[in-house]
Structure 1
Amino acid sequence: MLTAEFISQRELKVAELAADLVIAGGGLSGVCAAITAARAGLNVILVQDRPVLGGNSSSEVRLWILGATSHMGNNNRWAREGGLVDELLVENMYRNPEGNPLIFDTILLDKVAAEKNIRLLLNTAVYEVGKSAADVISSLTAFCSQNSTRYILKAPTFCDCSGDGIVGFLSGAAFRMGAEAKDEFDEKFAPTETYGQLLGHSIYFYSKDTGKPVKYIAPDFALDDIAKIPRFKSFNAQDFGCKLWWIEYGGRLDTVHDTEEIKWELWKVVYGTWNYIKNSGNFPEAENLTLEWVGTVPGKRESRRFEGEYMLNQKDIVDQHTHFDAVAYGGWSIDLHPADGIFSEKPGCNQWHSKGIFQIPYRCLYSKNIKNLFLAGRIISASHIAFASTRVMATSAYVAQVVGVAAKICKDHAIDPADIIREEKIGLLQTALLKSGQHIPGFSLHDETDLVQSATIQASSELVIDEMDGPAQFLPLDISTAQLIPLPAGEFPVVVLQAMAEEDTQLTVELRTSVKAGNFTPDHTVTSMVFDLKKGSNSLTLNFDHTLLNAAYVFLMFIKNPLVKLKFTERRITGMLSVFNLVNKSVSNYGRQTPTEDIGVDDFEFWCPQRRPNGLNLSLGFTPALNVFSAINIRNGVDRPTVQPNAWVASYHDPEPKLILDWEEPQSISTIHLLFDTDYDHPMETVLMHHPESVMPFCVRSFSLSDEHGVVIYQEDGNYQTHKVIRLAKPVLTKKLVIHMKHPSDLVPAALFSVRCYA
């Protein structure tokens, strides 16, 4: 039995912890920053004020993770974020294609727990900042409600991933809230004068069919008049979870300090909405439905934005400006919501897309006036307009990975975050990021330590396409359809295809390209032709007599005609893709983006893929044959399709695909990086949505490595990840490395983006 004498006051238990990097906030951004830093060799403390990791992506909020891919509803091809974000999304796809948010919680916890360099503090809220100078943070003080412990967390460097910017705010870091006037950054979409209205919070609910009638009695606090919601007729008994993202409120309030008030208002709306669905009589299909889950934590969109040495703005996004210190990219639309949220007469969002992905510079990722404070997540240095694009989770977390690597450089060189620019170490950071699988638009990896750069590369075969053969089917041209074709510089090949016509008709074919290299918006029409089709089978020969000055993807477009069927192949190939002039209302894609006034965004068409099992490639023949899948691509420093596929692809007739790396002298190899194709065009939404497969069809599952004597030094069956880092127990001394692979399936040839070897 424990007894304690009466005293006037007691102190909490205090624990002092030290690390190389302290990260406040365990949302997806904090998780990615922490794991990246830990894998780089830093000791990390990750402090999270919630009982689970993931923030808005966790089971507490249940929002799907999205970024540049935008539900496949924009023109950003092969744009899913790389590095650790990709690893998490691919892992979730493998374990959880049904989109169960509880499973995603465990994936994040698993990944963090696996890193011995991370000290994780859950249920622990930062409330005080200690400083050794006016512009230097020395410690954070936090309290854990579950073990009644006060933590003092010390480090030379700190990162704020908290969403509301608690560390930056308490430390005195410069920040903003609300919209800037349009003349500050020459942003045509910005207001004439500044205002404090923000994007609001959201709370979601889930329903479940119990198989028998369920009654519902609403709580007294529920909204009693559903007509107070102008869009109440949009409610239905089928939508739940983050499909109800537009249940939003709070944009006219203080989205930091009024969060509890906002939460109560959202609860009123949610329970009132469910009362309307269950008891209005308008939804008989809801009779057996029960309210399974309602969020208790609102998902926040906007609060503080902190100032770095550069503030990203609308022109950076729309004009796709280049930056010498580019370290990441974004691609979500400029997505602003009415301040009144669900009570507004206006549409729930106002999304304006750019023609391609845009660079995010490193100067946006640290405070301009607190020397040792990194910024990551939605609080990075961006105008209100640019923030509307960068705020989404996959983009926020992608930026956070940069911080994890930058913090290691700061430690190794005993410098502050800004010194990476001032001491010209930005190239060091960019190289480290590219090596980790982080794609930076316009950059390629030049790594002198990579032994593959000095090797002679051979392959058992290389895919050369004279005909897109394989099992085929004729599909109606109900939507205008295009095949993306990667071509080297030079003359356009002659293309042959088959078309079936229900009656005599005409078929319009266009050849288009993107004005900006690397974009996938077909905004330049090279030429067009019209074919007279006879009823029945037609063989068409397309000879455009066009010369490409540079290697690029081109769009071979077939304009909608329901009387025509085109031949499609079931064969899928890395870097080959069909796209369609689709409508995707969930991301404000109506086939074409047409601004009604001059707000500084472009007018252009959307050409997007269809989700598998749809979206087959057109069955085309090429003369000369399409030859862009050379083995030499594995060392070009780009790990995804951009202006070319950037992959070695084996012939699908090759029974045993392999790559052979030869050196004149024996090489000591201890680490090998392989980058496979996990379909960077698939957005891999983490919750709610179901996906057709748990492993991407392009991904090589089985492979082995052998030395010059044929001795197998590594073998794996069942791979599903993009980036395999193989660390050998003992270095191998060899003049030859052979990579043996199996085709993923009879319809998909083996492919590899990169091989890198290190001593």
Structure 2
Amino acid sequence: MIKQDATDHRQLHIESYQADLVVVGGGLSGTCCAITAARAGIQVILVQDRPVLGGNSSSEVRLWVLGATSHMGNNNRWAREGGVIDEILLENTYRNPEGNPVIFDTVLLEKVMLEPNIRLLLNTAVFDVTKSNSRTISSVKAFCSQNGTLYELSAPLFCDASGDGVIAFGAGAAFRMGAESTTEFGEKFAPSTEYGELLGHSIYFYTKDTGKQVRFVPPAYALQDITQIPRYRRFTAKEQGCQLWWLEYGGRLDTVHDTETIKWELWKVVYGVWHYIKNSGNFPEADTMTLEWVGTIPGKRESRRFEGDYMICQQDIVEQRTHYDAVAFGGWSIDLHPADGVFSEKPGCNQWHSKGIYQIPYRCLYSRNITNLFIAGRIISATHVAFGSTRVMGTSAYGAQVVGMAAALCHKSQLLPHQLAAVDHIKVLQNELQKVGQYIPGFKLKDPKDLVQNAQISASSEFILTELPADGEWFVLHDSAAQLIPLRAGTAIPEIVTWVNASTDTELVVELRCSGKATNHTPEIILSRQNIHLQSGRQSIHVNFNVSVEEDIYVFICFLKNSQIEMCYSNVRISGVLSAFNKTNPAVSNYGKQQPVEDLGVDAFEFWCPDRRPNGKNIAMQISPGIALFSVANVRNGITRPTNQPNAWIADLTDERPTLSLEWPDIQTIRKIELSFDTDFDHPLETVLMHHPETIMPFCVQNFSLCNDRNERLYEKQGNYQTRHTIQFATPIHTRQLKLHLQKSHQMVAVSLMEIRCYQ
């Protein structure tokens, strides 16, 4: 029993904690930052003002996680983000292919809970900042309403991933809010004041069919006149959740301090929309449906953006500018929304894509005037226009992983964030990031400590692309189709034989295309074109372009649309080889071609995108001479995904249990081995609503084992589904040889390995 006499005043319960890094904000960005830093060996405090992690991706908001892959609706091939965010998305797909947001909560919480170097404070809001001088944060104060505790958190380094920049703002960090003028950065897409200043908030709802009649009586605050929403005719009884992303409001208000006002307006909209669907009589299929869930906090898009030593702008994205300090990449469209949101007469968004992914510099990830403050998530140093692309969660989390690793390096070398931007330090940061799966466009991992670099490598077989057998279904060329194949510089285009079925005498146009930039996959340059006359019926066709390529690149064998022609799919799937189609995907403003009607500083080009599995098969063809770009040497080339080359060792399709051997002239002492598998970086892995056809990517090797030079089994793994796998020996092994035994998982998918590294 506790009994206390009356008193004039009592102090809150206070707890003080110290760490190497305090991360404020437990959205996807803060979570990935904290995990990356903790795994790099430093002590982290992760502070989240909500009961779960994930922010806009959590069950409280339920927005799907997307980044450069853009629903597979752009030309960014193999562009899913790597590292911790990749690990989280693969884990969620394995456990939760149905896209249940509550399960995604558990995935994030488990990932953090399993890290011994992270102290997690949920339901804890930071509200005050203490500084040791005008440019240095010493501590922050936070309050947890659930346990009535006041926390005092101190560290030499801080990361603000709070979305609104709560500690950056309190510390006096330079920031911006709203759109820059066209003249400041020369951005032609900078919006006018008539278009708006800010992107608004959204609240979503879920529905459920109960199988019996359900009525709905709207609350008094529900919107009564649905015509106040100019796009109300777009509503259906089928769409729910973030499929209705355009239920947006608040862009003309203060999106920090007016959030509660915005929330009430969005509730008014949501319940008014459901009232319309249920009670207008226009949706009889909704008669047995009920509201299952309505968000109670809005998902925020934009508020403050904080200034770093560099501010990424439109030209960085569209021109794909290179930066010495590139540490991450983006690839979502420049996606700006009208400030009036759902009440605007304008379209819900205005998206413009670049021809490929773009680099994000490290100098965008720390404050230019608060010396020990990193910034992560949507608040990084970007103009309003560039923010339209960098703001999405996959991209935000990817940049936040950089902050986690940078904080660890700063701690180790006693550096401040801006000091790490020096060329020599950046090279270390880039290497350390690549070691943990962070792909950086234009960079290769160069690790002198990797024993594989000095090993003799051999394999039981190597794949040569001579045929994609015609064993699949036939499809009509309603849309232009293309097969992507990789070629080495100076190589002549091989002769192609494929099969067609013409319903009448007609003509098939075949084009050979490539990108203007070797690492892009926008087929904008026509290298050759052939018109092939077909007679009615099934027949083979021979295509010989008689040209060569000048650099390592993917080429597109394009078959232009003709609804009188069928072609044949192949059931064989190969890492780094895929088909693409000139189709539309209105969800990401892909209407087959991007064609600006005025000078907005963006390019015109066509979209050629793969189909999602279980579709997305290759086009059947024979290739002569065969393409031999899948050798075992690729496992140490420093790139762990297809780019302008496959960058994978692939075993022959008939090799059921392929092996890869590493041999050294002398005995090696090995403590750790890193493996990278192909988990199909072209597949977006959206976290909610969209169902995935499998729980493990078909290219991923699930079962493997490792033996030494005495053929003793050192390690075995069953059921792998992750990109990266680390083998850590409690006691170092001593051997002249390592043999990796890989087991084929799917009959029609060749075994592949992207990378192997070994360390003493």
Please classify the TM superposition score into its range, dividing by the shorter chain length.
over 0.9
2:35 aligns with 35
Cα distance, 1:551 vs structure 2 = 1.3
Q: Match of 1:545, as an amino acid?
A: N
Alignment of 1:404-419 (within 5 A): 404-419=404-419
Q: CA deviation at 1:423?
A: 6.8
Query: Mapping of 1:570-589 within 5 angstroms?
Result: 570-589=571-590
Structure 2 counterpart SS, 1:425: helix
SS in 1 for 2:739: strand
Secondary structure of the 1:491 match is coil
Between the aligned partners of 1:665 and 1:340, the Cα distance in structure 2 is 69
CA pair 444-188 structure 1, distance change in 2 beyond 3 A = same
Contact 2:470-2:569 at 8 Å conserved across structures = no
Q: TM-score, normalised by structure 1?
A: 0.99
Report the alpha carbon displacement of residue 537 of structure 1 after superposing the two structures with TM: 2.0
User: Does the 8 A contact of 2:195 with 2:339 survive in 1?
Assistant: no
Secondary structure of the structure 1 residue equivalent to 2:348: coil
Correspondence for 1:603: 604
Partner of 1:377: 377
What's the counterpart of residue 133 of structure 1?
133
CA displacement at 1:238 relative to structure 2:
0.5
2:466 is paired with a residue whose SS is strand
- Cα offset, 1:535, TM superposition: 1.1
State the Cα distance separating 1:615 from its structure 2 match.
Answer: 1.4
Aligned to 1:45: 45
Structure 2: tracts of 5 or more residues without a match: none
Contact 2:196–2:339 (Cα < 8 Å) also in 1: no
Matches within 5 A, 1:355-504: 355-422=355-422, 424-469=424-469, 471-489=471-489, 490-504=491-505
Q: Structure 1, residues 571-592: CA drift from partner, whole Å, max 9, x if none?
A: 1110000000010000000000
Q: Is the 8 A contact 1:592 1:604 kept in 2?
A: yes
SS of match in other structure, 1:582: coil
Q: Secondary structure at the match of 1:221?
A: coil
Aligned match of 1:506:
507
1:368 Cα offset (Å)? 0.2
Alignment-mate amino acid for residue 450 of structure 1: D
8 Å contact from structure 1 (residues 181, 194) kept in 2: no
Moved more, 241-250 or 565-574: 565-574
Distance 1:503 1:73 in 2: 33
TM-fit CA distance, 1:194: 11
| Paired residue type of 1:565 | E
AA in 2 matched with 1:25: G
8 Å contact kept, 1:62–1:242: yes
For 2:563, give the aligned amino acid: P
Following the alignment from structure 2 to structure 1, what is the Cα–Cα distance between the partners of residues 674 and 191? 48
> Could you tell me whether the CA contact under 8 Å between 1:67 and 1:392 is conserved in 2?
yes
> Is contact 1:578–1:618 with CA below 8 Å preserved after alignment?
yes
Once the 2 structures are TM-superposed, how far is the Cα of residue 527 of structure 1 from its aligned partner?
A: 1.1
> Which amino acid in 2 is paired with 1:688?
L
Q: How does 1:15-30 map to 2 (within 5 A)?
A: 15-30=15-30
Farther off after superposition, 612-621 or 431-440: 612-621
Structure 1 residues 584-733: aligned runs within 5 Å: 584-733=585-734
Tell me the residue number matched to 1:115.
Answer: 115
Tell me the alpha carbon deviations over residues 46-98 of structure 1, each in whole angstroms, 9 at most, x when there is no partner: 00000000000000000000000000000000000000010000000000000
2: distance between equivalents of 1:628 and 1:196? 50
Q: Deviations over 1:421-462 (max 9, x none)?
A: 237300000000011100000000010000000000000000
Structure 2 CA distance for aligned equivalents of residues 282 and 526 of structure 1: 52
- Give, in whole Å, the separation in 2 of the partners of 1:670 and 1:319: 43
1:735 corresponds in structure 2 to 736
Instruction: Give the distance between the partners of 2:201 and 2:304, measured in 1 at CA.
Output: 14
Offset, 1:511: 0.3
Map of 1:293 onto structure 2 = 293
Kept in 1: contact 2:707–2:739 (CA 8 A): yes
> Which residue in 2 is equivalent to 1:188?
188
TM-aligned CA deviation for residue 193 of structure 1: 6.9
Equivalent position amino acid for 1:238 in 2:
K
Question: 2:532 aligned with 1:539, yes or no?
Answer: no
Distance in 2, matches of 1:454 and 1:193, equals 60
Cα deviation for residue 173 of structure 1 reads: 0.2
Contact 1:305 1:382 in 2 (8 A): yes
Given that 1:65 and 1:393 are in contact with CA atoms closer than 8 Å, whether structure 2 keeps it comes out as yes
Equivalent-residue separation in structure 2 for 1:551 and 1:238 (angstroms): 46
Query: What letter corresponds to residue 182 of structure 1 in structure 2?
Result: T
Alpha-carbon distance in 2 for matches of 1:606, 1:428: 37
Deviations 1:24-54 (A, max 9, x none): 0000000000000000001000000000000
Give the C-alpha shift of residue 195 in structure 1. 9.1
Q: Quick one: percent identity of the two aligned structures?
A: 61
Note the alpha carbon deviations across 1:730-757, whole angstroms, 9 max, x for none.
1110000001001121100100000001
Deviation at 1:7, TM superposition (A): 1.6
Give the distance between the partners of 1:480 and 1:718, measured in 2 at CA: 38
Q: Which residue of 1 aligns with 2:745?
A: 744
Tell me by how many angstroms 1:394 deviates.
Answer: 0.4
CA contact (8 A) 2:196 2:338 kept: no
1:192–1:146 distance in 2 versus 1, CA, 3 Å: closer
CA distance in 1, matches of 2:99, 2:423: 45
Q: Is the 8 A contact 1:177 1:196 kept in 2?
A: no
CA RMSD of superposed structures (Å): 1.0
Does the CA-based 8 Å contact 1:470-1:747 persist in structure 2?
no
Q: 1:277 matched to which residue of 2?
A: 277
Q: Does 1:565 align with 2:545?
A: no
Q: Whole-Å Cα distance in 1 between the matches of residues 423 and 601 of structure 2?
A: 36
Distance in 2 (alpha carbons) for counterparts of 1:272 and 1:113: 40
How far apart are the structure 2 equivalents of 1:383 and 1:603? 23
Partner of 1:235: 235
Deviation at 1:471, TM superposition (A): 2.7
Where structure 1 has 5 or more consecutive residues not aligned to the other structure, the ranges are none
CA distance in 2, matches of 1:394, 1:422: 27
- TM-score using structure 2 length: 0.99
- CA distance, structure 1, for counterparts of residue 674 and residue 163 of structure 2: 34
Contact between 1:180 and 1:195, CA under 8 Å: does it hold in 2? no
**Cα 1:355–1:687, aligned 2, differ >3 Å: closer, same or farther?**
same
Does the 8 Å contact 1:178/1:195 carry over to 2? no
Cα distance, 1:498 vs structure 2: 1.2
CA–CA distance in 1 between the matches of 2:195 and 2:589? Answer: 25
SS where residue 473 of structure 2 aligns? strand
Find the aligned partners of 1:700 and 1:101 in 2 and give their Cα distance: 28
CA–CA distance in 2 between the matches of 1:375 and 1:345?
35
Contact kept, 8 Å, 1:705 with 1:713, in 2: the verdict is yes
Deviating more after overlay: 725-734 vs 191-200: 191-200
Larger deviation, residues 293-302 vs 422-431: 422-431
The answer to whether structure 1 residue 103 and structure 2 residue 103 are counterparts is yes
Alignment of 1:174-323 (within 5 A): 174-191=174-191, 197-323=197-323
- Distance (Å, rounded) in 2 between the aligned partners of 1:369 and 1:244: 39
Report what 1:80 is aligned to. Answer: 80
AA in 2 matched with 1:24: V
Q: Which moved more, 1:233-242 or 1:2-11?
A: 2-11
Inter-partner Cα distance in structure 2 for 1:340 and 1:191: 14
| 1:287-318 C-alpha deviation (Å, 9 max, x unpaired) | 00010100001000000000000000000000
C-alpha distance in 2, partners of 1:422/1:482?
44
Counterpart secondary structure, 1:548? coil
Aligned residues: 759
The amino acid of 1:272's aligned partner reads G
| Contact 1:178/1:194 (<8 A) preserved | no
Matched-pair contact (CA < 8 Å) for 2:514–2:526: yes
Amino acid at match of 1:524: I
- Worse-matched range after superposition: 650-659 or 264-273: 650-659
1:418 is paired with a residue whose SS is: helix
CA deviation map 1:194-235 (0-9, x unaligned): 997200000000000111000110111111111111111111
What are the superposed Cα offsets for residues 587-632 of structure 1, whole Å, 9 maximum, x if unpaired? 0000000101000000000000001111110111111111110000
Q: Is the 8 A contact 1:179 1:194 kept in 2?
A: no
Letter in 1 for 2:634: N
Q: Determine the C-alpha separation between the residues in 2 that align with 1:552 and 1:620.
A: 20
Is the contact between residue 195 and residue 338 of structure 2 (CA under 8 Å) also seen in structure 1? no
Counterpart Cα distance in 1 of 2:470 and 2:595: 39
Q: Which SS does the other structure have where 2:63 is aligned?
A: coil
